[in-house]
Amino acid sequence: MKQKYFLKAFTIAFMFMLPLGLMAQTVKGKVSDESGIALPYMNVLVKGTSTGTTTNDAGEFSLTVKSLPVTIVVSSIGYTTKEVKVTSNVFLNIVIAEGGESLGEIIITGSRTAPRSNADSPLPIDVVGIKELLSTGQNTFDKALQFKIPSFNTVQTPVNDATSLLDPYEIRNMGPSRTLVLINGKRKNVSALLYTQDSPGRGETGTDISAIPVDAIKSIEVLRDGASAQYGSDAIAGVINIILKDDVSRGSATLRSGITSAGDGEMFGISINNGSSIGDDKGFVNYTVDFSKVGLANRPGTVSAKGEAFGGTGFGADLADVQEFLSRKPDAGNINGSPETVATKFLINGAYDLSEESTLYFNAAYVFKKVNSYANYRTPYWKVATGDLAYLQDLFPSNEAGGFDGYVPTFEGVLNDFNATLGIKRKVNDWNVDSSITFGGNEQTYKVNNSHNASDGYQALSPTSFDPGGTSFNHIVGNLDVSRLLSDKVSIGMGAEFRNENFEVIAGKVSSYEGGGSDSFSGNDIKNSGIFNRYNLGGYFSLDYDVSDAFLLSGTVRGENYSDFGNTFVYKFSTRYKLSDNYTMRGSVSSGFRAPSLHQIYTEKSQYSFADGGGIDVVGLVNNVSPKARELGIPKLTPEKSTNITVGFGGKVSNNINFTVDYYKIDVEDRVIYTNQIGKNQFFINGFDTTTSGIDFVSSYSNIEIGAGTLDLNLSGNYTIANERTQDVPTIDVKNDDGSVTAFPVLDRSNLALMFTSRPKTKWILGANYEINKVGVAINNTYFGKTTFKQKFMSSDLRTEFTPKIITDLAINFKASEKLTIAFNINNLLNILPEWAFKAENVNGQAIIDDTSVISIADGGSGLTQLENEANAITFNGRYSQMTYDGSHFSQLGTMFNLSLNYQF
């Protein structure tokens, strides 16, 4: 009886609310293509609101609206956007045609006026979806991009101290500091790390894109063109815009695990992504929580005993002592490859409609990362425990015979990275107004264990654990962007940006830097520490003019004022002409700039480095505003200036086949460089002008019907035509003890090679994806062209070249149920490893390669051939036999197996 009355009361209330429009309605349907194949991951949005969802793997969707009728918009990359008016809650069967503009193709990167589709854009832009990123099987976002964007390169270096926290990356061989990273169109903070070791990216800093959880990403837009006029400093080579997920109808939990074929580098990770509507469907919030742990993967080489004892990088030790130690530790105790890493990542993205004309939006992220890597093992013949170093016997463990057996210092880094944006988008009298404020920061602190301070006053009293300090960087960015369509042919945009930047050198504890500091990694001296600040104000104006349906003209001008550099003015002019409905030509010319980072201006420290004559030396990085710099006549740094030219052609051969090809040329004036060791010091200076040119090619052939399934093919590539300096290497005059003056070149052949030839000259990616029923199989082949190094320790008559290789990745996805998907990836299926060889620069170099005679130990030689001596010089006697100390063109870890389970809820 009570149930009857309750049901009656509920029915009366229900009927009373219905006329008031308070009754929620459910809209359900299925999306398929013209051939009837279900389309997953299609965007379904209620027009004029933020309420939306995406179709599941069966192409079906369900969303709740406050009342009917409504108009829903269905769209996705590669399909025509379709609007459907819904007047009743019947099941909808929606058919979408291929081609045309789609929501996923609406490009915001590189445009400050009305958004355009990729086909209509006058700029070369790659749009990469989350499904494509996940298909790579890579653990981090930066490594996933490595196998999707040909002009994007990154590699893990074997042992480079703080570099283990963040691998250097770059677009078009321009270094990490010349690519601007945006999150939802807003500037992401750069890292606190300054790369000072001998690796690609040396002397620069970049954004920690590896910190962004892949499961929080909806898509990536990579603008392969200079964009300083639109976005300001750092956008010389291009822009990476990371679009965050905004889905509220589907959540997922992903469990990942993996291991290398060598049985190490084990990985475990779990990620949860979910979303929900807020405020009666007026807004949404989408969040991601990600935890991962990657074990150590060790790839040491077999060390040469004769090289250790007698070679150019040897220690003058007794050969018998070296051989005895290496008989027990053939790798000399060295640990290098991929460090142990633990990372926790949180990210939230959301928006809320304040009214029909204004929307509040926000996003925030926090990342904690801890890395444990190692310095070179200090062998007992390297650090002999006698005389002043006798105390080492007591500080470190002994061998089985009770004698000193060396030690390996650890390098442990802790990274904290955060960013947050709060903004409001409004419509005011047909003007689109976007105002926002962004906070971001990155802090890295270090710890050295199993080491000591050998200076007087410490020695036997030395601690074995040290706190060397670290660095931090943060910024506050305020943006105001306004745009309007003045007519169907003219669109304008204007805006302003204020940015305040702070860089801090965090002092280490006294024992970490006093008297040379902790062995392997010296701490930051309190005299060199402090907080350094600058601010800048910029403004821009953009105009797009559609002269006709086929012909577009676009231009942007920008002015900036820096508190430490003064004023700069840059421009960009681009155009697009449609030769037909299927073929388009485009081009742009622009000027750009990059303000030297605060890291480059103010960093001053001591660091351990390989000495020119062999062994290890302590070298000082002297900052650009120091008395020592003035004594040497080194001027203060000035901004880099650039000129970018891009010309491209693209076409849609059929509904299934499309391509783009773009030529680019980037000229940089007054490029900021990190000098060689000059005496005992190194500096940053505006060194010389450079030019970089090349060709990008992107193509795809999709929806090929084979049997009961469909096949997609894609081919993309980058070829570097030139990457070189256009001026002589300048010199610095240094006064000798006898009063004479010696002119030192600011960069030697080794550092020039790191800058210009250490990335692949060409890189191609050929991928195939076949889907049938519940199974998807993807094969990706990445061709890494040759890279060239000219290490300073070897003969100038030789160079080293890494042999071109093809890395094959296999991905298999199985839809076990409506909610559970199992993915299995084999990265580097054929276990291809880096391989290098000596090449002769001249006849003298060829003579070294051909000479098989041994240099007698009795005659003061090493008992090795000259070529073996050269090999020992660049691999530290075989410690880094696969990559060399400087790095290579791809990872040295070989085959990796990854398994993931994704459950949708």
Concatenate the DSSP letters of all residues of 51-117 into one string: -EEE--TTSEEEEEESSS-EEEEEEETTEEEEEEEE-S-PPEEEEE-BSS--GGGEE-TT-SSS-EE
Q: What is the pLDDT of residue 769?
A: 92
**For the chain, what is the total number of helices (H) and then of strands (E)?**
13, 48
| Residues 719-736: tens digit of each pLDDT | 999 999 999 999 888 878
| Separation in Å, CA 546 to CA 488, 489, 576 | 8, 5, 9
Exposed e or buried b per residue across 171-189, where buried means at least 16 C-beta atoms within 10 angstroms of its C-beta: bbbbbbbbbbbbbbbbbbb
- CA distance linking residue 312 with residue 614, whole number of Å: 6
> pLDDT tens digit string along 5-44?
444 444 444 344 344 334 567 888 999 877 677 787 688 8
Q: Is 579 helix (H, G, I), strand (E, B) or coil?
A: coil
- Peptide bond preceding 40 in cis form (omega within 30 of 0): no
Give the Å distances, CA to CA, from 817 to 42, 539, 775.
19, 53, 11
For residue 541, what are its two tokens?
A: 């104006």
Parts of the chain with a pLDDT under 70: 1-24, 35, 41, 48-51, 57, 77-79, 98-121, 158-162, 312-313, 606-619
Task: State the burial class of residue 389 (Cβ atoms within 10 Å of its Cβ: 0-12, 13-18, 19+).
Answer: middle
How far apart (Å, rounded) are the C-alpha atoms in residues 173 and 486? 40
pTM comes to 0.86
Query: Which pLDDT does position 10 carry in this prediction?
Result: 40
Indicate the SS3 state at residue 326. helix
| Beta pairing partners, 332 | none
What pLDDT sits at residue 113? Answer: 55
**pLDDT single digits (tens) 804-839:** 999 999 999 999 998 999 999 999 999 999 999 999
The helix (run of H) or strand (run of E) holding residue 756 is: helix 749-756
Question: Are 82 and 110 spatial neighbours (Cβ–Cβ below 8 Å)?
Answer: no
Return the pLDDT at 111.
Answer: 57
Measured torsion, CA atoms of residues 419, 133, 162, 754, in degrees rounded to the nearest 10 = -120
- Residue 336: closest CA among 307, 369, 303, 314: 303
Q: How far is CA 3 from CA 8, 14, 257, 360, in A?
A: 9, 16, 51, 44
In 10 A of CB 478, how many CB atoms? 15
Residue type for position 76: S
SS3 for 288? strand
> Hey, which bits of 675-759 come out as E strands?
681-682, 684-706, 709-725, 731-735, 741-745
Letter for the amino acid at 206? G
Please give the pLDDT value at position 18: 40
Long-range Cβ contact pairs of 818-822 (< 8 A, separation 24 or more): 818/56, 818/57, 818/58, 819/903, 819/904, 819/905, 820/901, 820/902, 820/903, 820/904, 821/57, 821/901, 821/902, 821/904, 822/899, 822/900, 822/901, 822/902
The number of angstroms, rounded, from the C-alpha of 133 to the middle of its chain's C-alpha atoms is 13
